[in-house]
C-alpha cells in the first residue's frame, strides 16, 4: 500500500510539473504554484495533500508495527476492530475515538 500511494504522490507531482512549466516563465522572478492558480493546479494540489496525508498515516502505522502497538487505539488503548483495520489498514484510532475526534 505504501508503494502504491507513494507512486500516486510521484504521479501527482509530475502532473503539477506539467501544469506549471517553469520554462514558460518569461520573467526572472521565480514561479510559485500560488501565482499560477489554475483549476488543474488547484485540483492537483488538493489530491497531493490528501495523498501525502495518507502516506504519512501509512508510515506512522508501520512505525506502530515496529513498536508493537499496531492495532491498538492511540487514544483509549483498546483494540481496533479487524473490520476497521480491513477497511483502513493505517487506522490509529478505534471507530469510537475517531468519531469522537471528528469536527462538527
The pLDDT, as a whole number, for residue 41 is 66
Closest Cα partner for 91 from 83, 67, 19? Answer: 83
Cβ neighbors of 75 (< 8 A, separation 6 or more) are 93, 94, 97, 101
The full set of domain ranges for the chain reads 1-70, 71-104
Closest Cα partner for 79 from 64, 98, 93? Answer: 93
Is residue 22's pLDDT more than 70? Answer: no
Q: In the chain, what percentage of residues exceed pLDDT 70?
A: 73
The pLDDT, as a whole number, for residue 6 is 74
Looking at the whole model, is its pTM more than 0.95? no
Give the ranges where 21-94 is alpha helix by DSSP (H): 39-67, 82-87
Amino acid at each position: 500500500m505504501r508503494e502504491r500511494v507513494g507512486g500516486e504522490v510521484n504521479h501527482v507531482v509530475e502532473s503539477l510539473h506539467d501544469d506549471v512549466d517553469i520554462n514558460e516563465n518569461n520573467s526572472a522572478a521565480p514561479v510559485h504554484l500560488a501565482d499560477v492558480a489554475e483549476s488543474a493546479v488547484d485540483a492537483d494540489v488538493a489530491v497531493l495533500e490528501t495523498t501525502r496525508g495518507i502516506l504519512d498515516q501509512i508510515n506512522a502505522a508501520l512505525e506502530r508495527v515496529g513498536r508493537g502497538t499496531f492495532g491498538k487505539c492511540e487514544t483509549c488503548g483498546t483494540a481496533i476492530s479487524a473490520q476497521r483495520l480491513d477497511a483502513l489498514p493505517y487506522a490509529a484510532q478505534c471507530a469510537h475515538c475517531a468519531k469522537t475526534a471528528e469536527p462538527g
